[in-house]
Amino acid sequence: MTEHVLIDNADGVLGITLNRPERRNAITVAMYAALADAISGAAGDASVKLITLRGAGEDFTAGNDLNDFLSAPPGSRGDDIPVWRMLRALANNDVPILAAVHGNAVGIGTTMLFHCDLVIAEQGAKLRMPFVDLGLVPEAASSLLMPRLSGRRAAARHILLGEPFGADEAMMLGVASHVAPAGGLDAEFARVRSLVLAKPAQALRMTQKLLRTADRDEVIERMTLENGHFSERLTSDEVKQAIGAFYAKRAAASAN
């Protein structure tokens, strides 16, 4: 476990909070392991009616911690690799997940939302999947799920081109189920949370399974394909150049 992922299991809710606000909740290997354990553990806990996912501080998550990720890059295979365990846990999860998104949701901060059942996006949130910009490919089966959810053209805009989108467009694309006004995320989160908890627990789980947009085998198969390409890309010159340019740009912005 890690202090950067807070877990609270009470009153039928498994609450997960990304708690690394000083680094915009960028996700480390240890955080992936904690997320995988928490999500997969909920399946065997009949008392859990709902999983909630939030970010502490000003952002939902800035995505992967690039330094941590590149210091121990995941291979294309291996069941014990934390990031792949977390993705499979999302794909196999049978407990409704409610995510509350504010600030930046970058990379996996957006793609993990495709596996959530209810997503509240606060006005001012900025969602972005800059995989190609970094010389990478998408993950979390987003290359399968976003075209099905939003259409191929919208998927190309936001995955191929990496164009960012806000709360209203997230709602239009089907990425979000609710939009909260600026400053109103907590209130909307509490309202939707209460609605879910008022429902019968077994019916919730059964209905969550029925509402899946693609069967789990297909999702996991696409994840495996993406993971293989992603792992290969991590060793490419394109990635090294793109990430070097990213850090140079950030350093220049900080200097100004």
Q: What is the pTM of this model?
A: 0.94
pLDDT higher than threshold 80 for residue 45: yes
Q: Tell me 75's DSSP state.
A: P
Cβ atoms 139, 205 nearer than 8 A: no
Render pLDDT for 90-141 as a digit per residue (tens, 0 to 9): 999 999 999 999 999 999 999 999 999 999 999 999 999 999 999 999 999 9
* pLDDT score, position 119: 98
CATH of range 5-182+207-255; options 3.90.1200.10, 2.30.31.70, 3.30.56.10, 3.90.226.10: 3.90.226.10
Kind plus residue range of the DSSP H or E element containing 39: helix 29-42
* pLDDT score, position 243: 83
Token couple for 204: 């919730």
Token couple for 31: 């955080």
